Chain A
Amino acid sequence: MDTRPLVMLIDDDPDATDMYRLGLELEGFRVTVVNDPERLRGSLDEELPDVFVLDWELGDITGGDVLDRLKSDPRTASRPVFMISNHPEETSEGRTARAGALAWLIKARTTPNRLAAQIHEALPPSGELAE
């Protein structure tokens, strides 16, 4: 069984998720991508990710809605969630922090390398991953 941490990217911009997937894989993560948030439930049934990277603009819903879903699902409630967005409204940052997001990252300034560093920090030491 592959013990590398699994990162789920939830973002409806395929070009962005392609880029982050490549970068995170090169940093030693396994990556699963959800471009259509409606398919999130099915994706979670396959394998529970160790960390979520959640975009704000997701078509008909917001990253805030997805965050609420993740936090109310006992399987994912304690998993770290990073909000990542180019959304300029800083009010959303407070909302997602209250809802349990770990950080609000400005996408345009978050290279795959930096994202990887943030994720490493948030994860328990290697080998203690909850499975």
Chain B
Amino acid sequence: MASTESGPGAAPAESGGESHQLVDLTFDAIFARGFYNRLISYWNPGAERLYGWSRAEALGRVSGQLLESEYPIPLEEIETELLRSGRWEGEIKQRRKDGSPVVVAGRWGLQTHPDGSPLAILEINSDLTTIRGTTEDLRRSEQMFSLLVSGVKDYAIFMLDTDGVVASWNDGAERIKGYAANEIVGRHFSTFYMPEEVKAGKPDWELEVARREGRYQEEGWRVRKDGSTFWASVLITALYDKEGVLKGFGKVTRDMTERHQAELRREEERDLEAAQLRSHAERMAELERTKTQFLNLASHELRGPLTVVRGYTSMLEDGSIAPERFKEMAPLIESKLAQIDILIEQMLETSRLEHDQLELHPEVFDLRGLAREQAALFSALSARHHIAVVVDAEPVMVSADRSRIGTIIGNMLDNAVKYSPNGGDIECKVSRSDDSALVRIRDHGLGIRPEHLPLLFGRFSRLPTEENVSIQGTGLGLFLCREIALRHGGDVAVRSTLGEGSEFTLRLPVAG
């Protein structure tokens, strides 16, 4: 940069050539002034930018006056140093054209004549105000960022070195994971993983993915210092320097346990809803099957008595049987019609039960009288059976729906007759035991197979399927008996021995 031309005018600006162009290009303020007269002979664009004086304004002015320069040491000492060593460096306070102060780092050099006598001083002044400001801002910004990171409570933000060893720690990390910085910095980050995941090499694999793809992200269970677990949202970012060398990893972890649990709860609720829907659908399907079975059953049971009635009437109609013989058949036909009527009534009663529309009409009456009435009815229907009624001497009063209790007793007597195909004695006993009124009907018929006992009181349990042909009737009879007894606060029970007979007992609460 030094010029060998003589005179104050021989500054770089006037020397032309490449050096002048280069100096023009620098951002620093560069100017030359005479050693003795201090007149500015060169003024670059950097000086124009820094001081606000144009080249034209500056040339020929005395630099120290133009810039109101304040030197750290007297100017004479600077010049002495320049004469001695050819260079000087120091801070100078100056003033721009607009009056604003500026501090520059001056790096001055002495230009000399070939004989060594001083010619000019080249001042290269860098704006310290801007550089200082930038450095200050940068430092403040770094401090702020550091404060921000360390102060964040909701996220664990920390650094891992390239091997996965914890290198920094913030408040959030301490809060979420339970370790203080001095407890964890220097330890490998696999400490945060479930033992089985550590065993499977998951932590190292995650770093490998981050290294390869720049980042690794997942949600999963992590372990706190106290051994408890939390559901973490994890982001690992690989950190490279300007040269592309891996410097470590940034890890950001958030405790998502609550959200995860809420999700699990929602999932459970959804599962529960689905299960309820399935269960409902199954119930509906079961109901549909039951209805179909019931229709089959009802048709079968109604057709039984219908067969007999139609058989006789057809013979009366076509004249096979003389009309005067009708009287012989009338009671049988009547009993078959009554059977149809009972079946229909049972269906209606069941329907009322199903829809919870069974209204009881209670009255207080003597159970002995009702039992006698029913026994008389069934004695008349079957000549082959003898029904003996045995009753307590005292009245057995109940408060109940008389008509329906009559149906229950009738049903039990009907069963006794039906299951004693070879005739025999049937005993109907009415008694009182403590607070219970009892009607006990015992036959000496076929008895019931033990495996059929649990089915007796089930609704539609006696289906005429191939598997279950042996049990006859709609299956509604005993089901209704027990349901109606239960609604009176009583019950119906059965004891039976195959080949010896059965005993059905109706129990009702005593009135009063």
Contacts and interface: CB of A to CB of B under 8 A. Distances in A.
Given A87-B464, A88-B296, A111 B310 contact: yes
Given A26-B320, A112-B311, A86 B299 contact: yes
Interface residues of B, number: 25
Contacts of A64: 466
A86 B320 contact: no
Contacts of A56: 464, 469
A112 B320 contact: yes
Interface stretch (A17-25, A43-51, A120-128): A17-25
Which of B306, B315, B318, B472 gathers the greatest number of chain A CB atoms within 10 Å?
B315
A16 B320 contact: no
A23 B469 contact: no
Interface string A41-68: 0000000000000001111111010000
A57 B465 CA distance: 9
Interface of B: 296, 299-300, 303-304, 306-308, 310-312, 314-315, 318, 320-321, 332, 336, 421, 464-466, 469-470, 472
Given A56-B469, A57-B464, A107-B303, A23 B421 contact: no
Given A107-B303, A108-B306, A26 B315 contact: yes
A67 to B, nearest CB: 13
Contacts of B314: 23, 111-113
A131 interface: no
A86 B466 contact: no
B296 A89 contact: yes
B420 to A, nearest CB: 13
Contact of A23 (B299, B306, B320, B466): B320
A11 to B, nearest CB: 10
Contacts of A92: 466
Given A15-B332, A59-B470, A108-B303, A23 B311 contact: yes
A64 B464 CA distance: 13
Nearest first, the 6 closest Cβ-Cβ pairs linking A and B are A86-B303, A111-B314, A108-B303, A19-B311, A88-B296, A26-B320
Contacts of B465: 89
A61 B299 CA distance: 21
Query: What is the size category of the interface that chain A forms with chain B?
Result: 20 to 34
Interface of A: 13-16, 19-20, 22-23, 26-27, 35, 56-62, 64, 86-89, 92, 106-113
Contacts of A57: 464, 469, 472
B466 to A, nearest CB: 6
Nearest to B305: A15
Contacts of B304: 13, 16, 86, 107-108
A83 B303 CA distance: 16
Contacts of B469: 56-62
29 contacts: A15-B336, A16-B304, A16-B311, A19-B311, A23-B311, A26-B321, A27-B320, A56-B469, A59-B469, A59-B470, A61-B469, A61-B470, A62-B466, A86-B299, A86-B300, A86-B303, A86-B307, A88-B464, A89-B466, A92-B466, A108-B304, A108-B306, A110-B307, A111-B311, A111-B314, A112-B311, A112-B315, A112-B320, A113-B320
Nearest to B304: A86
B308 A16 contact: yes
A60 B472 CA distance: 10
A64 B466 CA distance: 9
Contacts of B300: 86-88
A68 to B, nearest CB: 13
A89 to B, nearest CB: 7
Given A15-B332, A35-B421, A113-B320, A88 B311 contact: no
Given A57-B464, A62-B466, A113 B472 contact: no
B25 to A, nearest CB: 105
Contacts of B466: 62, 64, 89, 92
A108 B296 contact: no
Given A15-B336, A89-B466, 17 more contacts: A16-B308, A19-B311, A26-B320, A35-B421, A56-B464, A61-B470, A62-B466, A64-B466, A86-B307, A87-B300, A88-B296, A88-B464, A92-B466, A111-B311, A113-B314, A113-B315, A113-B318
A105 B399 CA distance: 49
